[in-house]
Structure 1
Amino acid sequence: MGTKRFQFNTETLQYEQRSASWFQRVGRITLKTVLSIGMGFGLMLAYSLVFDTPRTQNLKRSREEMLQQVAMLQDLVQSASSQIGIIERRDNQVYRSIFEADTIPQSVRHGGVGGVDRYADLADVPDGVQIKHLMENLDQLQWRTYVQSKSFDEVARLAFEKDQMLHAIPAVQPVSVKELVRISSLFGGRRDPITGQGRMHAGVDFVGKTDTPIHATGDGIVIVATNSFNGYGNQVIVDHGFGYKTRYAHMNRILVHEGEKVKRGQVIGAMGSTGRSTGTHLHYEVLVKNKPVNPLLYFNDMDEEEYEQMLAHAEMQDLD
């Protein structure tokens, strides 16, 4: 309740209550309003300094949850980094070693994330250091995964080529042991059966009956299947890739055509005595980078004892 004000009336010689002017009344009301608002704001400010507002509490709760998630992701990244480290070591020491591939240096496996700082802006953000560290670790993990994936691609390719090579190398006899009569001439220098002069025999001669099946000794593509005029008669040449070729000469019949893909063990012809030959046999050659080598060195389908027996029973009779 406001203070009453009085003034002395000289005419009535009495104190009379003085009425406030309109301006005074408005001023008093305004002052009270301003004081009330100021007091309310002050109380709210004091409360906010002592107690968190619901919005502040939500923000703090969200920040704590975010930091917990960042810490959890850091643990997951660290675990993944350890796991890929095991794979990287196994890749270098085992897989790449088996296929004689160069190891991948650590500088390559852990590189690729340098240059411009992609997360420099996070330095000015609250808790930005932790987030920046997490993002950088994720980038490096992504790079290491990419490098390892490319390494596995290379190892898979090498394994495929190795498997192809193992199937392509001429590693078996061209004539079945059951159908082989004997070996008449081995690889090396010998007497020419027609001229009687010494010359190099570039293959091995397998003696058998006419039309004895002749088998491809490795996977490959037929590049020659014709009657030649250089003494080989009906001959087949198979390109096995990887620098290997095989020649099958003096056939009675050719059962494949040029450009045909053949598999190891596939029948490609029949034994005969065509061309420069004095008896039914197969002249078989193995060429490495177009140079003849001893075919016996590639017969993986016989053990040492069988190999020695074959040499002991070989009758050095020259047929071509």
Structure 2
Amino acid sequence: MAKVKYYYDAETLSYRKIKRKKRTTFKYIVVFLLAAALFGFLSFAISSNYIESPKERQLTRELQNMELQYQLLDKRMDDAIAALENVEERDNAIYRLYFESNPIPEEQRRAGFGGINRYKKFEGFDNSQMIAESNKRLDILEKAIVVQSKSLDEIAKLAEDKEKFLEAIPAIQPVSNESLTRMASGYGYRTDPFTKVRKFHFGMDFTAPRGTPIYATGDGVVKRADNGSSGFGNHIRIDHGYGYMSLYAHLYKYNVKVNQRVKRGDVIGFVGSTGRSEAPHLHYEVHKDGERINPINFYYGNLSAAEFNVLLRKASLENQSLD
């Protein structure tokens, strides 16, 4: 029951009951409803995160900073992937092509990760997809770097082998131009000096004075230094590896021994006329996998283009050989 309020009336010298006007009552009701509505709105706003607490504002800033950092990380990964792709392109199109090695397939370079979900731990968060995708790209990038690193190790090994191959392959003229009298006979059909019959000549004859130095045309190991082969007289055979062997015949004397390792340009013997020979000269052959091939293709190491053309022209003449 509402309390009854009175006021003192000085004219009548008595207490009179206070009567509340309807207008005043309505005003109180409106004020109460507005206050209730405002309280309800504030409560809803707080519960619905419309108004952030200081802690929530700090977490929001940290989240925004994290999103920015992931965007920057994605940009750096884009740059790293672009740089890696450039190396991969050169690896396949230049390095491996030069060393005659098969390119690495793209599916091997960009292979994903099968089996269990490696990114399950990132699920259930507001930015789960962004975080999982960044980690996935990073994993693939790391794997591609490992593949490329192993490829470069292989390229380095191929380069080392290539260097050894280039040092071993016969690549210079066995007698220097300054010492030559002439290039007497080339590879191909020639007239035999003794029988005068046309037959195949499997080497090149370089005429030079007796005692002229003879040079190893590539790195290798001396396999023979004797006169036990019919027609060659004193001769040397060098095994260069990779299926190559060079032969030097009709020597005056040796400057090496069997099983001795020699380098390209080492003096291995001296020009003579031993064996089946008409005059002092060097008979020179190059063998590949047991087959005798034209030595004219193996003088790129010490002849200019002009000198090689002169030698090629003389070697192509079908004349008489000296052995």
How far off is 1:154 after superposition? 3.1
Q: Within 1, Cα distance between the matches of 2:273 and 2:82?
A: 68
Match status 1:306 vs 2:307: no
Counterpart residue number, 2:209: 209
Q: Is the alpha carbon distance of 1:82 and 1:185 closer, same or farther for their aligned partners in structure 2, counting shifts above 3 Å?
A: closer
The answer to whether the 8 A contact 1:113-1:143 is kept is: no
The answer to whether the 8 A contact 2:216-2:267 is kept is: yes
Q: Within 2, Cα distance between the matches of 1:94 and 1:311?
A: 36
For 1:239-250, list aligned pairs within 5 A.
239-250=239-250
How far off is 1:102 after superposition? 2.9
The answer to whether the 8 A contact 1:222-1:237 is kept is: yes
Corresponding pairs, count: 275
Q: Within 2, Cα distance between the matches of 1:311 and 1:231?
A: 22
Counterpart residue number, 1:160: 160
For 1:6-155, list aligned pairs within 5 A.
56-155=56-155
How far off is 1:61 after superposition? 4.3
For 1:228-307, list aligned pairs within 5 A.
228-300=228-300, 301-302=303-304, 303=306, 305-307=309-311
The answer to whether the 8 A contact 1:247-1:286 is kept is: yes
- Give, as a single letter, the amino acid of the residue that structure 1 aligns with 2:211: D
How far off is 1:208 after superposition? 1.3
Q: TM-score, normalised by structure 2?
A: 0.73
Q: TM-score, normalised by structure 1?
A: 0.74
How far off is 1:285 after superposition? 0.3
CA-based RMSD: 3.0
How far off is 1:317 after superposition? 4.5
The answer to whether the 8 A contact 2:201-2:321 is kept is: no
Q: Within 1, Cα distance between the matches of 2:249 and 2:311?
A: 23
Secondary structure at the counterpart of residue 87 of structure 2: helix
Q: Is the alpha carbon distance of 1:229 and 1:293 closer, same or farther for their aligned partners in structure 2, counting shifts above 3 Å?
A: closer
Q: Within 1, Cα distance between the matches of 2:60 and 2:185?
A: 93
Unmatched 5+ residue regions in structure 2?
Answer: 1-42
Q: Within 2, Cα distance between the matches of 1:139 and 1:306?
A: 61
- Give, as a single letter, the amino acid of the residue that structure 1 aligns with 2:274: T
Q: Is the alpha carbon distance of 1:193 and 1:305 closer, same or farther for their aligned partners in structure 2, counting shifts above 3 Å?
A: closer
Match status 1:319 vs 2:322: yes
Q: Which range is displaced more, 58-67 or 208-217?
A: 58-67
Instruction: Encode CA deviations 1:222-264: one digit per residue, 9 max, x unaligned.
Output: 2222332433222211222332211011212211223333222
How far off is 1:270 after superposition? 0.9
- Give, as a single letter, the amino acid of the residue that structure 2 aligns with 1:306: V
Q: Is the alpha carbon distance of 1:225 and 1:55 closer, same or farther for their aligned partners in structure 2, counting shifts above 3 Å?
A: farther
Q: Within 2, Cα distance between the matches of 1:315 and 1:72?
A: 74
How far off is 1:107 after superposition? 1.5
How far off is 1:110 after superposition? 0.9
Secondary structure at the counterpart of residue 278 of structure 2: coil
| Identical-residue share of aligned pairs (%) | 39
Secondary structure at the counterpart of residue 130 of structure 2: helix
Match status 1:190 vs 2:190: yes
Q: Is the alpha carbon distance of 1:309 and 1:202 closer, same or farther for their aligned partners in structure 2, counting shifts above 3 Å?
A: closer
How far off is 1:315 after superposition? 9.5
How far off is 1:296 after superposition? 2.0
Instruction: Encode CA deviations 1:253-306: one digit per residue, 9 max, x unaligned.
Output: 211223333222221111112233333221100112111112123232143542
Secondary structure at the counterpart of residue 152 of structure 1: helix
Counterpart residue number, 2:17: none
The answer to whether the 8 A contact 2:171-2:299 is kept is: yes
How far off is 1:205 after superposition? 1.5
Counterpart residue number, 1:39: none
Secondary structure at the counterpart of residue 136 of structure 1: helix
The answer to whether the 8 A contact 1:183-1:315 is kept is: no
The answer to whether the 8 A contact 1:185-1:316 is kept is: yes
- Give, as a single letter, the amino acid of the residue that structure 1 aligns with 2:276: R
The answer to whether the 8 A contact 2:191-2:320 is kept is: no
Q: Within 2, Cα distance between the matches of 1:260 and 1:48?
A: 93
